[in-house]
């Protein structure tokens, strides 16, 4: 089955690779199987066969020392970079992550993820501030969704995480989220401390660059005003 070729000579493994590569979202084995079955009815691929094909593809990627592999995350298969390349990508990834999610959004999302299903009043109580605006942002980004109403006075809406949340953080289930004690251990880790220091230094550099730009803009505006004042005095 793994060596199967279509009439035109195309390998089955290459078709699976192309489908996963072309999909913007993680592709489930059921979806892969149904797409292939549409063109080749006698091919009825189950989860085990798809998994073996992915393993074979990853072996080829590794043998050729490629920078990516296929992993199962967010309920399906998707391409990811190899872990050994993460040091070079970490700053880029963290900068992008912080552009997409503010500290308040990350804080609110963590509460929803660990306490779901959870109501807005419960989130407000934990954070100590109103979270309505942040929850709306998370809804727009499709990281959380409304899952019903609570059986409490006023019947407030219940919020829970979405498949997009799993994809965003590279996990298959919320059960894979680190436990509170594991988070404490991670934060105490020397590598994490060094990483936080690097991010803080980078943020300071960005702040300095921004401040410099603002100062240059201010100086440019004022130089124009001073020039006009000088001309007025000459008159």
The pLDDT confidence band at residue 221, using thresholds 50, 70 and 90, is low
CA pair distance 174, 167, nearest whole angstrom? 11
Percent of the chain with pLDDT over 90: 41
Q: What is the pLDDT at residue 102?
A: 80
How many helices (H) and strands (E) in the chain? 10, 5
Q: Is 78 among the domain residues? A: yes
Query: In this structure, are 52 and 116 located in the same domain?
Result: no
CA pair distance 121, 159, nearest whole angstrom? 11
Four-CA torsion 9, 13, 16, 18, nearest 10 degrees: -70
Can you tell me whether residue 68 is helix, strand or coil?
strand
pLDDT digits (tens, 9 = 90+) for 96-144: 554 567 888 888 999 999 999 999 999 999 999 999 999 998 998 889 9
The pLDDT confidence band at residue 39, using thresholds 50, 70 and 90, is confident
Q: Is 183 among the domain residues? A: no
What CATH number does residue 169 fall under?
Answer: 1.10.10.10
Instruction: For residue 61, say if its preceding peptide bond is cis, omega within 30 degrees of 0.
Output: no
Query: In this structure, are 135 and 109 located in the same domain?
Result: yes
Query: In this structure, are 160 and 131 located in the same domain?
Result: yes
Give the residue, 223 or 41, on which the prediction is more confident.
41
Candidates 140, 142, 150, 143; CA nearest to 117 is 150
Q: Is 7 among the domain residues? A: no
Number of domains in the chain: 3
pTM, 2 dp: 0.47
Domain of residue 32, residue span: 12-84
Q: Is 171 among the domain residues? A: yes
CA atoms within 13 A on the CB side of 129: 8
């Amino acid at each position: 089955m793994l060596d199967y070729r279509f009439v035109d000579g195309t390998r089955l493994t290459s078709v699976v690779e192309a489908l996963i590569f072309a999909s913007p979202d993680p592709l489930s084995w059921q979806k892969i199987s149904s797409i292939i079955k549409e063109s080749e009815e006698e091919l009825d691929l189950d989860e085990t066969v798809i998994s073996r094909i992915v393993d074979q593809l990853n072996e080829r990627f590794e043998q050729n020392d490629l920078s990516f592999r296929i992993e199962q995350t967010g309920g399906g298969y998707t391409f990811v970079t190899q872990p050994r390349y993460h040091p070079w990508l970490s700053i880029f990834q963290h900068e992008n992550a912080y552009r997409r999610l503010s500290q308040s959004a990350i804080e609110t999302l963590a509460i929803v993820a660990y306490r779901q299903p959870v109501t807005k009043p419960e989130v407000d109580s934990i954070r100590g501030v109103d979270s309505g605006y942040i929850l709306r942002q998370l809804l727009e980004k499709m990281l959380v969704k409304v899952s019903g109403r609570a059986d409490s006075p006023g019947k407030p809406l219940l919020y829970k995480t979405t498949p997009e949340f799993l994809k965003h953080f590279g996990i298959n289930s919320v059960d894979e989220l680190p436990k509170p004690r594991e988070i404490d251990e991670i934060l105490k880790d020397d590598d994490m401390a060094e990483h936080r220091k690097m991010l803080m230094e980078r943020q300071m550099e960005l702040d300095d660059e921004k401040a410099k730009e603002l100062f240059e803009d201010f100086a440019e505006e004022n130089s124009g005003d001073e020039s006009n004042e000088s001309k007025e005095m000459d008159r």
